[in-house]
Amino acid sequence: MFAKRTQEVEPFLAMEVMERGMAMAREGTSIVQLGVGEPNFDAPPAAVQAAIDSLRSGETHYTDSRGLFNLREAIANECEARRGVAVDPDQIVVTSGTSPAILLCLNLLVDPGDEVVLATPHYPCYPNMIAVCGGTPVLVPTGPEDGFVMDVAKVRAAITPRTRAIFLASPANPTGAVQPREVVEELSSLGIPILSDEIYDGLTYDDAEVTSPLGFTEDTYVLDGFSKRYAMTGFRLGYLIAPKKAMRSLQSLMQSFFISTSQFVQQAGFAALAEGADHVEHMRREYAIRRRILLDGLRGMGLSIPIDPPGAFYVLVDMRHFGRDSLTLCFDILERARVALGPGRDFGEVAEGFVRFSFATARPEIEEALRRLERAFPEL
Ligand SMILES: Cc1ncc(COP(=O)(O)O)c(C=O)c1O
């Protein structure tokens, strides 16, 4: 028997579609993968070089559990530059990706039976991680009609004496929604810790502006990392910016769970912050072009797209008129069009019937996917 809490962890359906696509590719079928959020770009060259140099010079040991001081200092400086809020390097814990940062925070805040409020459609790992901490995810629906902006009245109504945190994801996965400043400010005033996932900050289009709750409440836990903005998914590098009062406990959790983050990976992060800005801007511009190609191409086929995503690299498309559940539809599309997509069901019941397209994939592949879909849609 396995622990009950692990049975509450749902499979990631986009991965299942991707894996079936990979199996088809091994048998010789050409598959275009637009299902997962994996930037096709190389990491910033300076980050790769720093990792090599670090390994060569023998930096293959544990570090301070909170991370190298030079990296935490650089993260603090970048936080001030990007968010306009000064933080102390001692408020930062460097982690192996944003995912462990989320897990640390939830372990810090959530006791069995506690509740965490989050907007849905949502990133699938949030409820899974809340559940393994014994907590209950409380989903607050957001909809295409209001641009997937959180309704603060609904958030207030969802709060109970057991609410321990509110998740804020802006820009969000899978909608690309960016929460307006007023919403962030109001959520910050509710007296409940805010877990602010800012992993897609910096990847915005049409002059969208991201607001961090860090400027409004000290009870903010910023979850961030290098995977998306710097195209460094495989490095596994992220961090947490937390209130000073939480640091001792977070440090103990970090020591017990992970000991520390790889030293050479931390050096790569330091180099990315120091020298990666041009690379990030180059990628953002390319995403903006791909986003336009994808939006125009899909709308040209008569598909309904509720919002032009202001951020991240996903387009959530309403495909309810195909008359089947999103997983079946994605498998049918994979068979007929040989394009792997993300079933909306991953992101909560409200996203059932929707399908997520990623434009983190290279432009020629997006164009090829559009051609294949156009040919296959009449049969679907
Ligand atoms: C909203 C969101 N948060 C966190 C993560 C996890 O990122 P990392 O690779 O840094 O663990 C992802 C990855 O897709 C994501 O979409």
* pLDDT computed for residue 130 by the predictor: 96
Distance 199 CA to ligand 1 centre (A): 7
* Three-state secondary-structure class, residue 73: helix
DSSP for residue 36? S
Protein residue closest via CA to atom 7 of ligand 1: 98
With a CB cutoff of 8 Å and minimum separation 6, the contacts of 148 are 119, 121, 142, 172, 175, 177, 306, 307
Tens-place pLDDT, residues 285-296: 999 999 999 999
Give the separation between CA 299 and CA 304, rounded to whole angstroms: 6
- Is the separation of the CB atoms in 137 and 130 below 8 Å? yes
Residue 282 to residues 201, 236, 249, 269: CA-CA distances in angstroms?
15, 22, 39, 18
* pLDDT computed for residue 76 by the predictor: 98
Give the separation between CA 299 and CA 296, rounded to whole angstroms: 5
* pLDDT computed for residue 49 by the predictor: 98
Residues of the chain with pLDDT under 50: none
Strands 342-343 and 354-358: antiparallel
Q: What atom of ligand 1 comes closest to residue 99's alpha carbon? A: 11
307, HSE (Cβ side, Cα atoms, 13 Å): 23
Distance 236 CA to ligand 1 centre (A): 10
* pLDDT computed for residue 10 by the predictor: 84
Residues 149, 119, 227: CA angle, nearest 5 degrees? 95
- Is the separation of the CB atoms in 133 and 165 below 8 Å? no
Q: Which residue among 227, 237, 239, 356 is best mutated to probe the pocket of ligand 1, counting the most ligand atoms within 8 A of its Cβ?
A: 227
With a CB cutoff of 8 Å and minimum separation 6, the contacts of 2 are none
* pLDDT computed for residue 125 by the predictor: 94
Q: pTM of the predicted model, to two decimals?
A: 0.96
Each domain of the chain, given as residue ranges in start order, spans: 4-42+278-379, 46-276
Measured from the Cβ of residue 185, the count of other Cβ atoms closer than 10 Å reads: 16
* pLDDT computed for residue 11 by the predictor: 86
- Is the separation of the CB atoms in 361 and 18 below 8 Å? no
* pLDDT computed for residue 1 by the predictor: 84
Per the CATH hierarchy, to which homologous superfamily does domain 4-42+278-379 belong?
Aspartate Aminotransferase, domain 1 (3.90.1150.10)
Distance 56 CA to ligand 1 centre (A): 29
* pLDDT computed for residue 4 by the predictor: 87
The two tokens of residue 376 are 């296959």
DSSP E strands: which ranges in the chain?
A: 32-33, 92-95, 115-120, 136-141, 163-169, 194-197, 220-225, 238-241, 314-318, 339-340, 342-343, 354-358
Protein residue closest via CA to atom 1 of ligand 1: 173
- Which listed CATH number (3.90.700.10, 3.30.43.10, 3.90.550.10, 3.40.640.10) goes with 46-276? 3.40.640.10
Smallest CA-to-CA distance from 368 within 36, 38, 30 is with 30
Around ligand 1, the residues with Cβ closer than 6 Å are 37, 97-99, 123, 169, 173, 197, 199, 225, 227, 233, 238
* Three-state secondary-structure class, residue 129: helix
- Is the separation of the CB atoms in 50 and 268 below 8 Å? yes
Measured from the Cβ of residue 249, the count of other Cβ atoms closer than 10 Å reads: 14
